[in-house]
Chain A
Amino acid sequence: MNTSTFSLTRREAMRLGLAGTAGFLLGDRIIAAAPPVKAKAVIQIWMWGGPCHLDTFDPKPDAGADFCGPLKSPIATNVDGVRICELLPLLAKQADKYAIIRSMTHGNNGHETASYMVQTGHKPGESDAYPCMGAVVSHFKGAAAGYKGLIPPYIVLTQPQGRFDEAGFLGSRYKPFATGGDPAKTPFVVEGVVAPGVTDERQVARRELLHNLNTFNHAAKGDPRLAALAQCEKEAYDLILGDAGKVFALAEEKDEVRDRYGRSTFGQSCLMARRLVERGVPYVTINYNGWDTHKQHFQTMNRKLPELDQGMATLLQDLSERGLLDSTIVWWGGEFGRTPRVQWEPPWSGGRNHFGNVFCSVVAGGGFKGGYVVGASDQTGEAVAERPVSPTDLIGSMYDLLGIDTEATLPHPQGLAVKVMPAGADGVTTGGRLREIMS
C-alpha cells in the first residue's frame, strides 16, 4: 500500500465521506513512517464567536427558510459540485486552493471550553491546561528550531482573544505577541514597536539618559535579573531602531495590493500576516471577532461576509502567486457553528445560537490539497452525516504537515512528561488524521 491510493480526482473526492473513512483506516500505517514536512508556517483566521456553517461553507438551500433565512442561493465555485454561500464570490474562485471540512464536531456549546478544544485539540477536565497550537508551533518552530530574529514567533493581529490562556502550562513566555493598533490605519501603530511622534534622535538621546540615571543598576551590578533586563532592552531597541520592525510598515506595499485585500482591519490583517510569514514567522493568528450573532444574524452576515471574502480570497491568491502557499497552512474556523434553525422569535428575532455538534473548518496550503470537501453534515446541518472530524484530528493533521511529532514531550514547569497531543487526546473516536486531503 502506498500513498498513491489517495490521489483521487476531484470528482471522486467530492463523493468523499466513505472515501475519507477508508482513507483513515488505510492511512494510519502509511503515515506512521515520518511524514515529509510540507508546512513551515500557519496563518490562523480565528472566527471568534463561532461563524455559522450554513451561511459560509456548508449551505443548505433545500432545508427551507427556517434554516436558510435569506441566504438560500449558494453559488458554484471553481470546483465542480462544490457550492458555498452567495456572499463569498471571491472565495468561490479560489476553491481549488482549499479544502472544506463540513463535519467538524466536539459537541460543546460554551465559547471558552469550545475555544480551548478547537485550539488545543485536548478535551477539557484534565488537571492541566494545555497550550494552544500557536504556542506549540512557536515552541517547535521557534526557540527549539533555532528561530532567530527579533519578530516574535507567535503573533496575534491585533488583540489576544482572552477566552482561555493560549500558553497553558508552558507559561507566559509562550504567549503570543499581540500587535495592538489597527493595520487599516497609517501608520500601523504596533504597541511598543512604532511610537508616533518620537523621532529616532530622541529615542537615542533618552536611551542614553536612561543609562546615565540607572543608579540602582550600578549599585547592584551582577544581579542576574538586571542583566536580563538589559538584554531585553537591547533586543527591544534592535526592533525599535533597526530594520526588523519595518515588517509592520504596511505603507511599503503598493496601494493596488492594499486595495485588493480590502482596506478593512481584517483585510489589512491578512496582508500583514502574509508579510510576517514571508519573513519567516511560523505562526500568525488573525483574531477576527464579531461572529457571535445571537441577534441580527443576517444583517451581520451581509456586512461582514464580503469583508471576509475579499481579505481571505486575496490572501490565498497572493500566497499562491508568491509561491508561499505550498509551505503555509491557512486555517479558517471558529470555536463552533451556529444553530441551523434560525431563531425567529424574540428576543433573538432572526439570530442563531451556539452549535458544537457540527461546524466547518477550511484549510489550505502547506500540504493540504485544495478542491476537496471532507465529510458532510445532514440535510439541515444539524448532525454529522459522514466522517466526523474532531479538533484533535484537524490539529494533528496540521502538526503532521509541520513535522511536529504529537508524541513528543513539551517542556513542563513541574517536569512532568507531557506529550503534545497523543492519540486519543480528545477522548472520542473519530475519523483520525485528514489523510484524504494531505499530500
Chain B
Amino acid sequence: MSARALSLVIGTLALAGTVRAEVEAANPYDTKLTPTQISALDQLVFARLQRLGIQSAWTCSDALFVRRVHLDVIGTLPTPEETEAFLADKSMHKRRDLIERLLERDEFADYWAMKWSDVLRVKAEFPINLWPNAVQAYHRWIHRSIVENKSYDRFAREMLTASGSNFRMPPVNFYRAMQKKDAEGIAHTVAITFMGARADKWPDERRKGMAAFFSQLGHKSTAEWKEEIIFFDSAKPVEGTPVFPDGTAAKLTTERDPREVFADWLISPRNPWFTANIANRVWSWLLGRGIVDEADDLRADNPARNPELLRYLQAELIGARYDLKHLYRLILNSRTYQLSSVPRSTHPEAEANFAFYATRRLEAEVLIDALNQISGTTEKYASPIPEPFTFIPEDQRAIALADGSITSSFLELFGRSARNTGMAGERNSRITPDQRLHLLNSGHVQKKIEQGPKMQALLRSNDGLKKKTTALYLAILSRYPTNEELKVVEGYTQPEASAGADVAWALINSAEFLHRH
C-alpha cells in the first residue's frame, strides 16, 4: 500500500488489523494513528506546546487506552474479556463509546466518591472524629450525589447550608469533619475545599471577613450517642464584619442564615474561584497534575500554566450548568488525554504542559483492588476502633470503603490520604523502599499469587506456555505480550511449579503494572 493510500485510510476509515500492523509504533504503547479529532481543548494545549517548541507524544495505543481509561474513570482494571472485546472492536467510535459506558458504571460512583471523600475528609478517627455512623451517612450522601450526577453548585451549596443531625442530614458533616471547628477554622476549610485557596496565606482581614459568615453556627448534642445537631444559631452575635473574599461587603439580615449568603456568592458563575478550582481539580484527577499545580493552590503568584485552557474549561462547566460529567467527557475524549505516556520531547516543560500522559503510581486502594481482581482474592477490612466496631463484607473493594481510618496496613503503607485537612497533597502516591519490599517480597502478595483461586486456575490450566503467558498479560497488564516478551518467558528456566508464579510476580512488579500510564 502506498503512503498516500495509507493516509487516506487513516483519515476516513477505521483500520483493519493488517493495515494497523504497518503503522503500529515500535512499542505496545504508541500508535501513529490519530483516532480522535482535534477538539477546541486540544487546540489550546497544542498551540501552547507549539509556542514552546515541544513535540507531543504519539497517541496511545488501544491497549494502553483501555487500561488507562478504566483506571482513571472507575479506578478498576479492565477484565481480560473487556480488554479483548475492546481490542477486537472495529468501530470508529469505540473509545468514545467506552468512555460513555464507564461513566455509567457502579464503580464510577465508588471511585469518585473516594476522591471526594479525600477532599471532604471522611474519616471516623482523629483529628476528624466523625465517628462510624456519621462516616457512613456522609459517604452515602456523597456517593448518591455522584450516582444522581448532582450538579456541582448544588452539591457545594447543600453542604454549606446544611442544618440538622449528623446522622439524618448527612451534608452537615461537612462542618464536623475538621479539626479546628471555630469560625476561622471553617473559613479555612471552605476556602481549601471550594476555592482551592489556602487561607493561611491570606491577609488576616480577608480571613476574618470570611469567618464572620460562619460565626453563627451552633452545635448541640442529643440523647443519642455521638449524634450532633448543626444549626443556624441566630441568638449568637455575628463576629466581625462579613466580607466576601473578593473584598465586597455583605449585607446580612437577622432571619437569613449567613451561610446561605456566602454560598450564593460562592456558586455564582461570576465567581472565578469556584469554577477555576473545580475545573482544575477535575483536570488534575484525570491527568495527574493541575493546570495550576498543586491542584488546590490557586493564587495570583501561582498562575495557571495554560490560562486559556483553564478559562475554557470554566466556561464549558458554566455552559453545562455545572454538570461535571460534561467536563469528564470533554477531557477523556480529547487527544490530549489520549496521548501516549512515552514522551517524544525532553523539554523540561513538557510534562507541565501535557505533552504526554504522565505516569503515576496507582493509588493504594486501586492497587490492592487490582491485585485482588487478578488473583481472585479479597482483603479483610474491619475497624475495631472506634465503637461501634465496623465490619465490612469480604468482597468489599477498597475504592468503595467509606472510612479513611479503616484499619489496613496496606492502605497505610501505600499512602492513602490521611484526610486530616482535605488537601490534595495528603494522598501520597510516590514509591518508597518499604512499598517495594512489600510488593517484591511479602507473604501478603506472594500468597495472592500462589494461592489466589483465579491466579491458580490460570497457572494450572493445561494451556501451552504461549496461551498462559497471554492470559497473564491480559489479566495483569491489559495487553497482549510482544514476541520479545514471549521469548523471555520461554527462556525462563525454573521448576515448572514456580516458573508461572514468577512470571506473574514479575508482571505485578513491573513499572507498567504499578503505574497508570
Contacts and interface: CB of A to CB of B under 8 A. Distances in A.
B346 interface: yes
Contact of A216 (B430, B434, B511): B511
Nearest to B404: A165
Contacts of B517: 216, 220
Contacts of A159: 409
A173 interface: yes
Interface in B370-397: 385-386
B494 A205 contact: yes
Contacts of B29: 216, 219
30 contacts: A126-B180, A127-B421, A162-B385, A163-B385, A164-B126, A168-B418, A172-B412, A173-B430, A175-B412, A192-B440, A192-B441, A195-B442, A195-B443, A195-B446, A196-B443, A198-B441, A206-B505, A209-B492, A213-B488, A213-B489, A213-B506, A213-B510, A216-B29, A216-B510, A216-B511, A229-B514, A235-B433, A236-B433, A236-B436, A236-B437
Interface in B462-517: 482, 484-485, 488-489, 492, 494, 498, 502-503, 505-507, 509-512, 514-515, 517
B284 interface: no
B188 interface: yes
A201 B433 CA distance: 22
B220 to A, nearest CB: 18
B435 interface: yes
A112 B124 CA distance: 10
Given A162-B407, A172-B418, 7 more contacts: A113-B129, A127-B188, A168-B418, A209-B503, A220-B341, A228-B430, A414-B423
Contacts, number: 206
A226 B125 contact: no
Contacts of B443: 189, 191, 195-196
A232 B421 contact: no
Contacts of B136: none
A220 B359 contact: yes
A128 interface: yes
Contact of B179 (A126, A203, A216): A126
Interface in A139-177: 150, 152, 159-160, 162-165, 167-169, 171-173, 175, 177
Interface string A187-216: 001011101111000110110011011111
Nearest to B482: A215
Nearest to A128: B421
A225 B485 contact: no
B228 to A, nearest CB: 14
A198 B442 contact: no
Given A163-B126, A177-B434, A217 B179 contact: no
B180 A206 contact: no
A219 B434 contact: no
Contacts of B511: 214, 216-217, 220, 226, 229
B127 A164 contact: yes
Contacts of B360: 225
B409 A160 contact: yes
Nearest to B184: A127
A124 interface: yes
A167 to B, nearest CB: 8
B436 to A, nearest CB: 4
Given A126-B180, A216-B517, A233 B436 contact: yes
A262 B431 CA distance: 38
Contacts of B453: none
Contacts of A192: 434, 437-438, 440-442
Contacts of B492: 205, 209
Given A127-B179, A220-B343, A165 B420 contact: yes
Nearest to A150: B433
Contacts of A218: 27
Nearest to B28: A215
B444 interface: yes
B415 interface: yes
A205 B501 CA distance: 13
B388 to A, nearest CB: 14
B198 interface: yes
A111 interface: yes
A345 B431 CA distance: 52
A216 B441 CA distance: 22
Contacts of A323: none
Interface string B316-360: 000000000000000000000000011100100000000000011
A115 B405 CA distance: 15
B269 interface: no
Interface centre among A195, A217, A220, A236 (most CB of B within 10 A): A220
Nearest to A191: B442
B27 A219 contact: yes
B385 A225 contact: no
B436 A235 contact: yes
Closest 3 CB pairs of A and B: A192-B437, A216-B512, A112-B126
A172 to B, nearest CB: 4
Contact of B428 (A171, A223, A239): A171
Contacts of B506: 206, 209-210, 213
A239 B436 CA distance: 11
A23 B46 CA distance: 70
A112 B425 CA distance: 23
Contacts of A163: 125-126, 385
A180 interface: yes
Contacts of A206: 494, 502, 505-506
A160 B125 CA distance: 14
